[in-house]
Amino acid sequence: MLSIEKYQDQFISYLQEYSTVTEPKNLYEPIDYILGLGGKRLRPVLTLMTADIFNGDYKIALNAALSIEVFHNFSLVHDDIMDDAPLRRGEETVHEKWDINTGILSGDAMLIMAYQLFENYEANTFQSLAKLFSKTALEVCEGQQYDVDFETRNDVTIPEYLKMIEYKTAVLVGAAMKMGAIVAGASSEDQNSIYEFGRNLGIAFQLQDDYLDAFGDPKTFGKQVGGDIIENKKTYLYLKALEFSNDTDKIELSQLFNSIPEDVATKIEVAKQFFVSTGSADATKEAIKDYTTKAFLGLDSLNISEDKKDLLKTFGSNLMNRAV
């Protein structure tokens, strides 16, 4: 087993070999650009680490890991177009640096390239990877559509919200780990168990992201604190606050999250006061803990050594503490 940093280094080296610009340059340069913007590469690292955990050589999982990373960045290119986002990881988004048509077409090419990488595996492995990938890719699209729909709905339920973050975020974490298990030749039971570990950890991670968006430290969070509040996003914090509020506070909170004031600082503070006073903030922290615990409990059924289970628990704990 390698350290997280070593897996990252190995993956980035492989990515740099893969990223070659060919003709037409206006199609491939944006792909090279978005793949080179950095990030922690956690999803591909999970694929490599899982292959090692199930006694495979992580190097044979490099193409599956790269597929996950190419797909993830494809989704970011298209998400940025939908959100009209100017920046990605502190740099210009693809559609800003080039144009919208280029962003759409280069994103489409990335989705195809992600599938192509499975061609490096023998037939049975290819089929298993492609089947999982197709299911996951469609779920990510469904999650994105739910997210878009929720922007104009005032009747979003907590189960609907949890389904949205599961599809938009968590299933890709689960798939990244299951791909490593598939490549390593793990049993179907172990493949499914490691998927559930990743899926539950992914839900916990997104709930924590919601919490940190309101209550995180601006120096360490990496994004604008209060961004979800400014954008009127119906996060778990908001939905729990509604659930716990009396009728008068429900009206006030709902009006707050349908407003676009010039003074966003006051809006953020008022929303945070609602989250604390209603008990929503504590309920969100409890949900984060519950999904993390559920992820760890799922490791009990894995046919791996206790040392490797502990390694996965340490990784999960570090992820939730934003230490990886």
Convert the pLDDT of each residue in 210-264 to its tens digit: 999 999 887 766 667 898 999 899 999 999 999 999 999 999 999 999 999 888 9
In degrees, to the nearest 5, what angle opens at C-alpha 89 toward C-alphas 50 and 5? 35
Per-residue pLDDT for 98 more than 70?
A: yes
- Contact criterion met (CB below 8 Å) for 161 and 150: yes
State the average pLDDT for the chain. Answer: 94
d(CA 48, CA 86): 32
For residue 96, give every residue at least 6 positions away whose Cβ sits within 8 Å of its Cβ, in sequence order, or none: 86
Quick one: tokens of 209? 């992201």
pLDDT band for position 115 (cuts 50, 70, 90): very high
Convert the pLDDT of each residue in 163-174 to its tens digit: 999 999 999 999
% residues pLDDT > 70 (the chain): 98
Q: Answer positive or negative: Cα dihedral of 205, 211, 212, 214.
A: positive
